[in-house]
A = this chain, B = another copy of it.
């Protein structure tokens, strides 16, 4: 495994570590390559490691009362996975799975806690990370109920275009069912919403391949709900 200090996408927190601390981190860190669909962490299971997405793409999902999964977030490289739950009670409160071939590092929780109390800068960066992460849910939470499907789908497309791919042409590596779980709707409704956007000339779609051809209109749909 590549040394943590040479890892290109090591977290800002890890960047604060001293040589000794870095080597402690390294010794308690294991790298795994996962195929699309494979589980990174599982809700309800006891765990002793925090995961870190080094490359690829993953989804955070959680079962709701209806028994179906809701996708809370799509994770990019550089994201910690399961930190919130494991620091609090060792049992994961949500699941995460790779949606592309991904590399994941698992860091031992005791090491992680040790680093927090040993290096205040490490702790400080984690605090900033957690703050940003939490905020990312707020906007979404508020608008899930205030936007209708077309608007939520537009948000999702803009997210994949602007944030994840930085391109107007991109692949969404999710089934229509997963896409529905992400925009809080049913598969059928998502299909129809996609058709709507295609019909009015905002996007082109071939399977999981998307192209935004009228970004401004898409943005308007996102904002008007």
Contact = CB atoms under 8 A, between A and B. Distances in A.
Interface of A: 62-66, 68, 70, 72, 83-85, 87-88, 93-94, 113, 116-121, 123-124, 126-128, 130-135, 137-147, 151, 184, 223-225
Per assembly, the copies of the chain total 2
A134 B157 CA distance: 25
A182 to B, nearest CB: 11
Given A88-B132, A137-B137, A68 B146 contact: yes
A126 to B, nearest CB: 6
A137 B128 contact: no
A135 B70 contact: no
Contacts of A121: 117
B65 A147 contact: yes
Most central of A119, A126, A127 by chain B CB within 10 Å: A127
Given A123-B124, A142-B63, A225-B65, A131 B85 contact: yes
Contacts of A113: 124
Given A84-B134, A135-B88, A146 B66 contact: yes
Contact of A145 (B93, B128, B137, B184): B184
A131 B94 contact: no
Nearest to A60: B138
A114 to B, nearest CB: 10
B145 A64 contact: yes
